[in-house]
Structure 1
């Protein structure tokens, strides 16, 4: 009986050490998240000074720092070293961060796979979940519109936060799918929304579902951007598309998980080349309107080898991957998970 009491005490201490001040996540979510990593990987991630797990999104703040949303924490890179911003609120026992956003006031918003949203003002954190009005605790994408509203792409629709309360939009309001992957507000004020299915846009009153040129729905829109000329680009699991307001063009059949336009007008994507291979690809600006644009495959790897993309102020390309974050300087790709990349 004494050994039983000791065992129960140890389990309780472990739970407290991992979960104190944490979100109360279901045991199923904890188990499913941890199942992707070995115990040694979990331990290494908890003590690591660099991102060691899946990085879905990479952003840059107003000071030029790189913000990295990794599965086991949100990091900030100042050009010299990494800082884990979420070490005090989360550990590999619970974390599953997917996105990070710095709003116009300099505050950070952190989206998670199953634990809602964290707000960080530089001094303290505030936690939002469905109890506070968030549409779902699965907040996979964060976007700030021109009016200052913060939008969250969740597994239960689109949630808009105006600074005081949430308003949730679902298929009942006209969305084509309740799983939201991305937002993008264009120059005319339309809010484009990519879902785990079709794309749509919201004019402030109604949602309009958008089809490709054959009139068929997309299968899974992961990314939407507007280029300098006002064209809308769509990244689907089955290809890269461009819409100029009247004509719809299938630029490439390579899957496009993430899209960016760099300062020179080149289009960069990450995504599936085939079921076993993902790649970082660049489409040359001078040939974008050719029938077959000039494509350069910068680097390829296994499934989900490259995810979120960012062009930093210095022109370097930052990449999220299934195992950390990398930087491409135009010649070489530096993996910060490796010791050489940390120097």
Structure 2
């Protein structure tokens, strides 16, 4: 894969993500049995662009597409649900569940709450700094807005919060007046093992919020690269040694409050010259399995696994065609799934992955 092709791929992926979260209505949530059979229409196949995957506490799967709504699979029937059924938008960017069993579907136009019967769009409340809080039951959304915003839902209200500004011109060489979007646009939203919130941005590096204060990781490899690429910090992982991986295989970070920056940067893995030249060194989605192994996806570069010692690559192809990976997800039984931009969904089968076809 050439550097030129990598630039094009990343630019396409990036441009698809720059969409804003609109301010719309809200309602109270309540626990109820999921009854999606009354919504949507029965279908036999998934869309070829499935960007996000989620399994709820009842065992149902939700597959979010990039433009054709969401697909609900209960093991027997596959139902396609769209904006005609109450979804705020058909481009699905994330799926979560609260402690009451309500499902939250994140889109570029806002967040839809599903209580088992109907969809309601959550109203966004612009918040002062006092609403920067961190509790175990909060849900966090980014909506990939064109501003330095992230959204916290506390079970009643969806608060729009702003990241603290940094001197990114001095530290990263980014002049905000020369770009048409906010460098603080939030991509990655993850929590570490201690419950700290990590927020990755398009150009302004990454932020760690511990419930009281922010730690900023402002390194040039997390911003605009020398060749002009802007991969962004899309996924944040913690390995078995407590190191934080910020969307790339080059560096990992140890949090050390006694140091001037509050962290120490280390080499993540030693990459061969061939890998460094021909493979994408940045991942767009990742997870840590129950053994602490890291699994990461790259767009057109397959799945990467880090077992604590070495980094290995699993190619994902349909015949001779590269499968373009968007997301990775581990279900309630520990099985790993892949969301793609051109070939539906792939499911782990032993040491490899195979295309998922609902058994209807």
SS in structure 2 of the partner of residue 221 of structure 1: coil
Sort the Cα spacing of 1:76 and 1:231 in 2 relative to 1 into closer, same or farther, 3 A. Answer: farther
CA RMSD of aligned residues (A): 3.5
User: Does the CA-based 8 Å contact 1:305-1:321 persist in structure 2?
Assistant: yes
Mapped partners of 1:171, 1:90: distance in 2: 31
User: Does the CA-based 8 Å contact 1:120-1:126 persist in structure 2?
Assistant: yes
Aligned length in residues: 273
Corresponding residue of 1:327: 347
User: Does the CA-based 8 Å contact 2:134-2:211 persist in structure 1?
Assistant: no
Corresponding residue of 2:266: 248
Corresponding residue of 1:207: 214
Aligned ranges 1:55-70 → 2 under 5 Å: 55-70=50-65
1:280 aligns with 2:303: yes
CA offset digits 1:6-58 (Å, max 9, x no partner): xxxxxxxxxxxxxxxxx999xxxxxxxxxxxxxxxxxxx98744331422222
1:78 aligns with 2:74: yes
Sort the Cα spacing of 1:189 and 1:333 in 2 relative to 1 into closer, same or farther, 3 A. Answer: closer
User: Does the CA-based 8 Å contact 2:75-2:359 persist in structure 1?
Assistant: no
Aligned ranges 1:312-323 → 2 under 5 Å: 312-323=331-342
CA offset digits 1:175-212 (Å, max 9, x no partner): 97331112222233421101112111123344332034
Task: Tell me by how many angstroms 1:78 deviates.
Answer: 3.0
Consecutive unaligned residues of structure 2, counting only runs of 5 or more, are 1-20, 24-39, 128-132, 169-182, 225-231, 256-263
Post-superposition, which runs of at least 4 consecutive aligned residues in structure 1 deviate over 6 A? 301-304
Q: TM-score, normalised by structure 1?
A: 0.67
Q: 1:119 aligns with which of 88, 113, 136?
A: 113
Write 1 or 2 for the structure with the bigger share of strand.
Answer: 1
Mapped partners of 1:184, 1:232: distance in 2: 11
Q: 1:233 aligns with which of 242, 245, 248?
A: 245
Q: State the structure with bigger RCO (CA 8 A, min sep 6), 1 or 2.
A: 2
Corresponding residue of 2:159: 167
User: Does the CA-based 8 Å contact 1:75-1:83 persist in structure 2?
Assistant: yes
Corresponding residue of 2:179: none
SS in structure 1 of the partner of residue 85 of structure 2: coil
Mapped partners of 1:270, 1:170: distance in 2: 29
SS in structure 1 of the partner of residue 325 of structure 2: coil
Q: TM-score, normalised by structure 2?
A: 0.64
Task: Tell me by how many angstroms 1:315 deviates.
Answer: 3.7
Mapped partners of 1:56, 1:231: distance in 2: 27
Sort the Cα spacing of 1:249 and 1:53 in 2 relative to 1 into closer, same or farther, 3 A. Answer: same
Sort the Cα spacing of 1:333 and 1:229 in 2 relative to 1 into closer, same or farther, 3 A. Answer: same
CA offset digits 1:65-123 (Å, max 9, x no partner): 332221212223334443334465268x951111111122211110112x211011112
1:50 aligns with 2:45: yes
Aligned ranges 1:6-21 → 2 under 5 Å: none
SS in structure 2 of the partner of residue 133 of structure 1: strand
Task: Tell me by how many angstroms 1:331 deviates.
Answer: 5.0
User: Does the CA-based 8 Å contact 2:86-2:119 persist in structure 1?
Assistant: no
1:178 aligns with 2:184: yes
Q: 2:136 aligns with which of 139, 147, 156?
A: 147
SS in structure 2 of the partner of residue 52 of structure 1: coil
Sort the Cα spacing of 1:193 and 1:333 in 2 relative to 1 into closer, same or farther, 3 A. Answer: same
Mapped partners of 2:110, 2:287: distance in 1: 27
User: Does the CA-based 8 Å contact 2:317-2:323 persist in structure 1?
Assistant: no
1:196 aligns with 2:202: yes
Mapped partners of 1:204, 1:315: distance in 2: 30
